[in-house]
Structure 1
């Protein structure tokens, strides 16, 4: 019985190590390793303890090749981390216009998804002064009237940031 328990523990530990490695591969733009994990049956939509999926990590690290590969292989583009943030929200926060394009145009990300605070990618873009991303989100159908948990719209956030250019855009 003791041998059985040790064997089960070892299998679980090895599975955990492999799962952790898919996150490292996503962070380092390693499509070859991601492909190997897919062949091994590793779930590309699993989340780490913070709720980050490989796609969220790849986007946050601006790893174009892994993002494309994950999307082509069925990554859930609108998966949310523990705070409800999506890959699109991360790309918007970081100002990665190319990632926003990939997620919206290739991955068909929901531009109106909100996080646990009710904030959408458009609210992130207004808060962080991402003019080009605002244009892309609006062209993709982003809702200007979404209000966060404090009752503020993207335009309200632009006003608070004193960003007149974005106020005019919204």
Structure 2
């Protein structure tokens, strides 16, 4: 049996109607995840402090934290604010959070610290801020990955040099047995490989 809508110029089958309805449900989700780093920030249940940080209104963000909001708050996926700031390349947020005594080595649900995310994003500015504040350069995530391994894979010479000078241990293995040099070889940067070979 065919169905038609008043505005349609042709009949629509039940199967077609179902597909249209499904598309109407899925389209907003597709649009939402086109920017993965910010997708979850658009959720109505996200906390006000997370929304404020993602809006990059730094004066208001700082005032809110100074007014008593916990600098170690997390988003809906349990990412601490500092981790979220590093993951999204927000040096201003990192600086404000450190000023407000955010715990520097908090990890997300996968064990990733803010320093690991700074290395992953090749953000030397954030990396340096975190190291100066005392971040553990050898802190491993749940797969045993360190910031040095991630920086080596991503090909950031400046990040690798900074981590090594700050005490990063190139001999640490992840839980598959790979060390930072192995990660560097996967990244294909010859200078990084030479730096790590000397650091072994």
**TM superposition score normalised by structure 2:** 0.71
Instruction: Kindly state the Cα deviation for residue 104 of structure 1 after the two structures are TM-superposed.
Output: 0.6
Give the one of 120, 134, 139 matched to 1:113: 139
The 10-residue stretch of structure 1 (160-169 or 150-159) with the greater mean CA deviation from structure 2:
160-169
Rounded to whole Å, the distance in 1 between the matches of 2:66 and 2:155 is 41
Kindly indicate whether the alpha-carbon contact (under 8 Å) linking 1:27 and 1:57 is maintained by their aligned counterparts in 2: no
Q: CA RMSD in A?
A: 1.8
Aligned-partner SS, 1:104: helix
In structure 2, C-alpha distance between the alignment counterparts of 1:127 and 1:81, rounded to whole Å: 21
Q: Could you tell me which of 59, 70, 75 is aligned with 1:43?
A: 70
Q: Pick closer, same or farther for the CA change 1:39–1:149 going to 2, 3 Å.
A: same
**Equivalent position of 1:91 in the other structure:** 118
Give distance in 2, aligned partners of 1:145 and 1:47. Answer: 32
Whether contact under 8 Å (1:55, 1:75) holds in the other structure is yes
Question: Once the 2 structures are TM-superposed, how far is the Cα of residue 73 of structure 1 from its aligned partner?
Answer: 0.8
Q: Which runs of 4+ in 1 moved over 6 A?
A: none
Aligned to 2:48: 21
Specify the SS of the correspondent of 1:159.
Answer: helix
2:188 to 153, 162, 168: 162
Kept after mapping to 1: 8 A contact 2:66/2:100: no
Q: State the TM-score, normalized to the length of structure 1.
A: 0.82
The residue number in structure 1 matching 2:155 is 129
Unpaired runs of at least 5, structure 2: 1-43
Rate the CA distance shift 1:134–1:83 in 2: closer, same or farther, 3 A.
same
Q: Distance in 2 between matches of 1:21 and 1:48?
A: 10
Matched residue, 1:63? 90
Greater displacement, 134-143 / 60-69:
60-69
Q: Distance in 1 between matches of 2:162 and 2:51?
A: 30
Is contact 1:29–1:64 with CA below 8 Å preserved after alignment? no
How many aligned positions are there? 153
Aligned residues of 1:45 and 1:76 also touching (Cα < 8 A): yes
State how far apart, in whole Å, the 2-side matches of 1:136 and 1:39 are: 31
